[in-house]
Amino acid sequence: MTTCHFRQIRYERDDEPVFGTLEFSLQPGHMLVVEGPNGSGKTTLLRVVAGFLDMAEGHVEVEGRTLPVRDFHETLPLAYAGHKPGFKDDLTVLENLRFLVALHEGDTRRIGAVLQRVGLWGWEDNLGRALSAGQRKRLALAAMLLHPAKLWLMDEPFANLDGQGIALVNALMREHLQQDGMLMTTSHGTFPLEHAHMDILRLDGGKGDRA
């Protein structure tokens, strides 16, 4: 797996830059934490990398190719977990996961083990609308585990989680990185995971600084 280099990344909204021109890399076994106050563009940057938003300027270099960011996930499969969990409230936990697995042509036989891993075993027949905020976050984690991807994009992954949930996310992140996965995540405060290969990208008032 090859390092992905993002060059001259810039995004505008209503002709105004959301953040300054950025350059950063995503590497196997490394986590990039995007830090900054509310409104600095953290979520926007994650959505740009996911290909949901078109940039004003920039590209990504991966496997010797120069690509628009919106196309690079065709070379490097990614999974995205944002503020909105991305499942249907009128479907049960099990129905939501079966749908997502079928969408990605995955293996439904793994669903039971994944539900146990994220702490939702016994809740599989509950509708999405009946889940608490923390349980909805756990369902989003289950969806990521059932969609094999080398790059995880996680927006505020510890929000709405109790101590056990935070420990779960930490464990899943460590395992992903130990398997040479890539991880890009956002935070507006102290990040509760310490890892030898953790890089910081700070956004502040339209400027981006690598630390």
pLDDT, tens digit, 9 for 90 and up, residues 81-103: 887 777 899 999 999 999 988 87
Q: What is the mean pLDDT of residues 131-152?
A: 90
Which of 207, 204, 211 is closest to 9 using CA atoms?
207
Could you tell me which of 104, 197, 201 has the C-alpha nearest to residue 145? Answer: 104
Structure confidence at residue 188 (pLDDT): 66
Structurally, how many domains does the chain consist of?
1
In sequence order, what are the beta bridge partners of 11? 19
pLDDT of res. 205: 57
CA distance to 35, 60, 129, 165, 204, per residue, from 48 (Å): 16, 11, 29, 27, 17
pLDDT tens profile 150-189: 999 999 888 888 889 989 999 999 999 999 999 999 986 6
pLDDT cut 90: percent of the chain above it: 48
* Residue 210 confidence class, pLDDT cut points 50, 70, 90: very low
Residue 11 located in a structural domain: yes
**Residue-number span of the structural domain to which 29 is assigned:** 1-77+183-211
Distance between first and last Cα of the chain: 24
**Residue 23 belongs to a domain with what CATH number?**
3.40.50.300
